[in-house]
Structure 1
Amino acid sequence: MAQRYFLTKNDFENKSITTDDKHHILKVMRMRSNDFIEVCYLKTCYLAKLSINEQQISYEIIDTLAQRRSVDVTLIQGLPKGNKIDIISKYATMFGVSKMLFVQMDRSIAKEKNSDNKIRRLNLITKEAAELAHRFDIPEIAFFKSLKDIDFKTFDLILLADENEKTIMLNTVVKTTDLDKKIALIIGPEGGISDSERVFFNQKNAHIISLGDNILPTEIAAIYALSYISVKNTELF
């Protein structure tokens, strides 16, 4: 399988590669002229053949790649502490999330600040993860200071993972017929969801679900749910 790269508008229009991907092609992958890669722009990916002239890289598009069916899942993640946000961004990307909204919740230890710098770093992480997973797009990332700043009316199905819930499992709520809907998946920070947040989400008609008998850390919980949704999606083929 060919290495995949997400291109800037300039590189796509000029059929060239001038970004950090150039270093990856020349120094890491040690590619040569006539090697094949996959290039993606605006959620469309192509098979391309390289032409390398010393330090200049251009490519020729050979074919348009068939796009897999995806599920529109937005992860609403309680802001975690430390590098857990990097872990969440990387693996949620690889498991197919469409958007990631990091929000400060009642039990968030970390505080929302320097979000522009964080987004730049996380964009690099998600780009690499999307290339490794051979996705057709890179998920969007945003930061919010409060749950009240998020427009929950845009979602058709809202799932709230709550460690206090013991009986309603993810598979009893999400059916294959739900995979065409806009889904919001809410994961609390360290310490979980507060009582006031439970009231808030009840008002948003959220489905409160369990992710199983074991309590999962916040940086892993989304992966459990996203992997289930991914499996249900493949059942449609």
Structure 2
Amino acid sequence: MIPRLHVPAALAAGLDTVLPPNATRHVQVLRLQPGAELCLFDGSGGEWRAEVRAIGRREVVVRALAHASVERELARAVTLALGMPANERMDTLVEKATELGATAIQPLVCERSVLRVAGERAERKAAHWQAIVIAACEQCGRNRVPTVHAPLPLREWLESRGDEDSGQRLLLSLDADARPLAAARGDQRNVTFLSGPEGGLTEAEQAFARQRGFEPVSLGARVLRAETAPLAALAVIAALEAAA
């Protein structure tokens, strides 16, 4: 398989580019030689056939050769807004959400959250998760890189969403009035899923989310873990698109 690497700079035919550190290490670990073929993507869409031009101890130079307009995105832009699960579970959630097609991920601090971060630590966490997203894109074939936003308190995030924001707002819920997710499918181009942390959202948090336009939807009678529910929702959206 031809190695796929992300380059955080605009690519152009015939342009030589120095790979970023993570991509450089990847080339070195694979022991590629000058002339080896690569697939590059810069996140703006499509991918580039490229080749290794030079390999040094600290940098690798590559050249973009030809662009292919290949897209592997969902038809709808999906944002996951979720109460962060603790420990490595958030890392896994971010990786798998990227593979399943999420466009953006908004980590949230909720009343029952175990993981609580703010300020500089929140920024570091977001940067760590963004690196996981890039690695997942390299693996799964996506050419557009999802954005992981810095964690925010749930109420602050909800208040920041204006009524004029377009798109469907869905709240993953076990409440009796929650519609099955498949039945709540809308025709908007954007959809945001709100999902709680370990222990779920409190009644007050759910009520405020409903006030902000979030419709409760259900994934079934079983209680899914905090890191499972948003991935299941994404999988439903992807399956519905594939069947359409």
State if a TM-score over 0.5 links the two structures. Answer: yes
1:163 CA displacement:
2.5
Quick check: 1:214 aligned with 2:215? Answer: no
Tell me which moved more, 51-60 or 108-117: 51-60
Is 1:36–1:50's contact at 8 Å kept on the other side of the alignment? yes
User: Match of 2:47?
Assistant: 46
AA matched with 2:233: A
Quick check: 1:137 aligned with 2:148? Answer: no
**Counterparts of 1:160 and 1:74 in 2: how far apart (Å)?**
12
User: Match of 1:223?
Assistant: 231
1:157 CA displacement:
0.7
User: Match of 1:67?
Assistant: 71
Q: CA RMSD in A?
A: 2.2
User: Match of 2:112?
Assistant: 107
Q: 1:210 to 1:53 in 2, by over 3 A?
A: same
Question: Any stretches of 5+ residues in structure 1 without a counterpart?
Answer: none
| Per-residue Cα deviation, 1:183-235 (whole angstroms, up to 9, x for no partner) | 11011000012111121122123221111222110011111110111122233
Q: 1:54 to 1:39 in 2, by over 3 A?
A: closer
User: Match of 1:81?
Assistant: 86
Q: 1:31 to 1:165 in 2, by over 3 A?
A: farther
- Spell out the pairing of 1:120-199 with structure 2 (5 A cutoff): 120-142=127-149, 143-150=151-158, 151-152=160-161, 153=163, 154-165=165-176, 168-175=179-186, 178=187, 180-199=188-207
- Structure 1 length normalisation: TM-score? 0.87
**Counterparts of 1:211 and 1:51 in 2: how far apart (Å)?**
47
**Counterparts of 1:54 and 1:77 in 2: how far apart (Å)?**
42
| Per-residue Cα deviation, 1:133-191 (whole angstroms, up to 9, x for no partner) | 1112221112112323343332421111112347621111015xx2x422110110000
AA matched with 2:101: G
Question: Any stretches of 5+ residues in structure 2 without a counterpart?
Answer: none
Q: Which runs of 4+ in 1 moved over 6 A?
A: none
User: Match of 1:3?
Assistant: 3
AA matched with 1:192: G
1:23 CA displacement:
1.8
- SS of 2:39's equivalent in the other structure is strand
**Counterparts of 2:64 and 2:148 in 1: how far apart (Å)?**
31
Is 1:168–1:208's contact at 8 Å kept on the other side of the alignment? yes
- Structure 2 length normalisation: TM-score? 0.85
| Per-residue Cα deviation, 1:55-106 (whole angstroms, up to 9, x for no partner) | 2432232232322453211111013222222111111111111111111112
- SS of 2:65's equivalent in the other structure is strand
Tell me which moved more, 83-92 or 146-155: 146-155
User: Match of 2:23?
Assistant: 21
Quick check: 1:205 aligned with 2:213? Answer: yes
- SS of 2:144's equivalent in the other structure is coil
